[in-house]
Amino acid sequence: MLTGATVVLPAETVHNGQLVIDGTRIGHTAPQNAQAIDVTGHYVVPGFVDLHNHGGGGASFTSGSVDDILKGIHTHREHGTTTLLTSTVTGDMDFLTRRAGLLSELAEQGEIAGIHFEGPFISPCRKGAHAEDLLRDPHPAEVRTLLDAARGQAKMLTLATELPGGLDSVRLLAEHGVIAAIGHTDATYEQTVSAIDAGATVATHLFNAMPPLGHRSPGPIAALLEDDRITVELVNDGTHLHPAALQLAFHRAGADRVAFITDAMDAAGFGDGRYWLGPLEVEVADGVARLASDGTIAGSTLTLDRAFKRAVTVDGLSVEDTVRALSATPARLLGMSDRIGSLEPGKDADLVLLDAAYDLKGVMRRGEWVVAPQLG
C-alpha cells in the first residue's frame, strides 16, 4: 500500500491518497497486514505506454538479438515505460518477415505489446532515416505478408497512403484490426482525408516527415489535426518539435487524441556515439541522433519520463493531461484500456513514482518493482 501520495486517477487527482497493490493488480481495499510505504510528497501515475520505439540501452529492436531486445525493453522500463510496441525500420521483405517472427515471440511472452512496422511502405520524398533503395509501394499483398509473419502481433503499420495501393492497404489493415498510421508521407490535404475515411487512425510523429502546414496548401497536418478519428503521435524531446508546434497540436487535438512517443533508437538511456538504425549509420551528439551521411534526424534518445517532465515544466501542460497523453490515450488506441493506462482496481499494477520536481523515483510493472522507491 502506497500512502500519502498525490494519486492521478482517471476522474480526479487525490491528494494524500493511497494505492493498494494486490499481487499483480491494483486492489480495492488493503488488508490489515498490508505493507505500507509512505510516499508523501510524490506523485503516483500510471505506467507509460509507448507506441513507437526502436530501441534503447545500446540495444536495437530493429536488428538486435533477443537478449539485445530484452535489454532495450528493460532500459525503457527503468524510465517508466511499462508497455511498448517494438518498432521496425525499412528493410527488405525477407528480413522484415524474419524480424516479425522474432518479435512476435516476445509479444506472445508478454514482454512487448506488439509490433509497429515503420516502413518500407513510405514516401521517398519524406523518407527520414530510412534507406531509400529499400522503399516500396504498399501493395496489399505485401502488407498482408508482414501481418501473417507477425502471427497476430502486428498492432500498427506506418505507410504513405498516397502511394499506389495505399488506400487498399489501409482498408486491409482496418479489416484485420491493425492500426493504419499515416506517416513519412507527401500526401495532400485531400489525399489524407481519403486515407482517414478509408480507416487510418494515427498520425506517425505529427509534423515530422511530412509536408509543413501551409495556408493555401494545408497538407496532411491540417487534415490529421482536425479529424477526431485521428490520434497524433508527438515526440516531445525539444528537438523534433518547437514548443509552439506542440502547443498547437496538443490544444487542437486535446489529451484524448495525443500520444507522446519516444521514437527512440539504441542510444536512448545509453549515451552519445555511433550507432546503426537498420542499414544506416547514426551519430548521436549531445543527445541528438542524426544520420552520419547527411544530418537528417534519426529517431531520438528520448525516454518517456523525460517527456513527462518536459510537458509539465516547459510546455505548461497539466499533470492530468500529460498522464492521458502518456498512458490512457495510447492504451485505448491499443485496445488495452481494460488492463493498463490508468490506476483503477483490477488493472495491472503498472505505475510510476515521481517526486515534486517530476523526476522519476520508482517504477512498478505488474506488481513488481523495476525501480525500487528512491525516497531518501
Active site residues: 263
Largest CA distance in the chain: 66
- φ, ψ for residue 313, nearest 5 deg: -90, -30
By three-state DSSP, how is residue 304 classified? helix
By three-state DSSP, how is residue 22 classified? strand
- Nine-digit cell at 368? 513488481
Cα separation, 128 vs 235, in Å, equals: 15
The separation between the first and the last C-alpha atoms of the chain, rounded to the nearest angstrom, is 18
By three-state DSSP, how is residue 280 classified? strand
Which run of H or E residues covers position 320? helix 319-323
By three-state DSSP, how is residue 369 classified? strand
By three-state DSSP, how is residue 323 classified? helix
- In the chain, the amino acid numbered 200 is A
Cα separation, 104 vs 113, in Å, equals: 9
Cα separation, 3 vs 5, in Å, equals: 6
- Nine-digit cell at 26? 491494483
Cα separation, 79 vs 124, in Å, equals: 34
Cα separation, 198 vs 70, in Å, equals: 36
Residue 214 CB partners (closer than 8 Å, separation 6+): none
DSSP string, 235-266: E-SSSSS-HHHHHHHHHHH-GGGEEEE--B-T
DSSP annotation of 270 reads T
DSSP annotation of 204 reads T
Which run of H or E residues covers position 70? helix 66-77
